[in-house]
Amino acid sequence: MVVIGPEVRRADSRATLAKMRRDAKTLARPLLRRLAAALIACIACAVCAAAQINVRLQTREAIEAHLKSFSTKNSEREALIRKWFADSGCKDPNLSEQALDRKLPPNVICVLPGETPEVIVVGAHTDHVDSFGDGVVDNWTGAVLLPGLVYSLSAQPRHHTLIFVGFSGEEKGLVGSQYYVDHLSSEQRAHIEGMVNFDSLGLGPTEVWASHADKVLLDALGTVAAASRLVVATMNVDNLGTADSESFARYQIPRITLHSVTEQTWSILHSPFDKLAAVRMNDYYDSYKLIAEYLAYLDEALKPPPAPPPGKAAQ
Ligand SMILES: [Zn+2]
């Protein structure tokens, strides 16, 4: 996350996307609670079945082990993500590095070819600010999930080509993500149906920067959160910071950023407190599960409708 000012303005009021948690709290009577739970379970099953959410999850131990293997050197971070991409089955020519025109580590890119040329870009930055803390929250938490998600999404054929990118130089001003999107052809950019970014996870339950999210991507997130019974709340970071998703917004590419920062935890970013100890592992693993299911759902939900039968097109 790029932090753009020392002052922490009061952010927009938090609103729960998946309203289950609030409903569960306010339904005081046990009978109503049971009815609500049954209804939620039905809706969740129906959504799961309709969406065919099907992912293979890495164990919490594996995700946690990667998180704990952080380096404080940005070049080593990039190299670790590249190695874990390879471990997840991403091999040449689908695994590559993109050198930047500045003295920064490269972007690291893993392509999971799909059945169509339509693309979903999945991004997280690998670098951290040099001066404070270990940058585990911001953004080793996000970077570590990239190879984990390759493992999750590669278990079955996907409609979309999924492009996982560990962006370099985010903290220098979104350098890697801007370079990446600037160097795509206009045709390549036109094929990107969504860019899903995550930055600074694990400080608590998953949050979404809703005011800078594409509505279709945001609605889909709410659907998956309800189906999986994982909490997602809105925490807008306008005037507080920015993230790699905004490089894609410059080209009108639909984007969304997931994070975990609240008004209470914002001060951890770029501070001596950004350390492994700040990560709440239960919440972090829940974010991984949610994002894995979300990507699988998007792959189905963003699929173009079937072509009309021959003869109908002209009517
Ligand atoms: Zn940051």
Which string of DSSP letters, residue by residue, matches 36-64? HHHHHHHHHHHHHHHHT----PPPHHHHH
Neighbours of ion ligand 1 (CB under 5 A): 1, 138
What's the CA-to-centroid distance between 124 and ligand 1, angstroms? 11
Q: Count helices and strands (H / E) in the chain.
A: 10, 10
Q: 32: CA distance to ligand 1 center in Å?
A: 43
132-177 pLDDT, tens digit per residue, is: 899 999 999 999 999 999 999 999 999 999 999 999 999 999 999 9
Please tell me the distance between residue 133's alpha carbon and the centre of ligand 1 in angstroms: 11
Residue in the structure block whose two tokens are 């709340």? 233
- Ligand 1 midpoint to CA 81 (Å): 18
Q: How many angstroms does the Cα of residue 284 sit away from the middle of ligand 1? A: 17
- pLDDT tens for 121-144 read 999 999 999 878 999 999 999 999
CA of 60 to the centre of ligand 1 (A): 25
Which of 133, 81, 74, 136 is CA-nearest to residue 103? 74
Neighbours of 52 (CB within 10 A): 11
CA of 172 to the centre of ligand 1 (A): 9
Taken in order of first residue, the domains within the chain and their CATH numbers are 12-301 (3.40.630.10)
State pLDDT tens for residues 16-36: 343 333 333 332 334 444 444
Give the pTM: 0.85
75 versus 101: the higher-pLDDT residue is 75
Gap from CA of 311 to ligand 1 centroid (Å): 54
